[in-house]
Amino acid sequence: MIDMHTENFQWIWGVLSAFSKDISKEDVLKYPLPFADGYTGFWKNPLKLQHPLAEIEITAWDGCFVLFISKDNKQVDLLQESFPFAQDLERYNAELG
């Protein structure tokens, strides 16, 4: 097992999903698990969480981006306040669109 406090590692691809405490592991596993590599939904508006029971998804995308999607816009606003270089993904998609 990797000790995250002593090892220097980088996430290249992956999705971390956050669920309400009242959602059971069994309920989570009834649905396909989210994925990063090859998922095209990141680049389409409106953004939506991949897992229908998730509240937040944090995605490592190709080791160069971290994508943050939340049902609660306040969480997105807090992230953007804490990280001033963060970009709004829906706005980014709209500009490309």
Query: What are the two backbone dihedrals, phi and then psi, of residue 76, each rounded to the nearest 5 degrees?
Result: -65, -45
Residue 41 belongs to some domain of the structure: yes
Domain ranges, residue 89: 14-96
Residue 61 belongs to some domain of the structure: yes
Residue 9 belongs to some domain of the structure: no
For residue 24, the tally of other CB atoms under 10 A from its CB is 11
Residue 4 belongs to some domain of the structure: no
Report the C-alpha gap between 65 and 85 in whole angstroms. Answer: 12
Q: How many domains does the chain have?
A: 1
Residue 6 belongs to some domain of the structure: no
Order of strands, edge to edge, in the sheet holding 54-61? 14-19, 54-61, 65-70
8-54 per-position pLDDT tens digit: 777 899 999 999 999 999 999 999 999 999 999 999 999 999 999 99
- The answer on pLDDT for 89 being more than 90 is yes
Which neighbouring-strand residues pair with 60? 14, 66
pTM of the model: 0.87
Residue 2 belongs to some domain of the structure: no
Residue 1 belongs to some domain of the structure: no
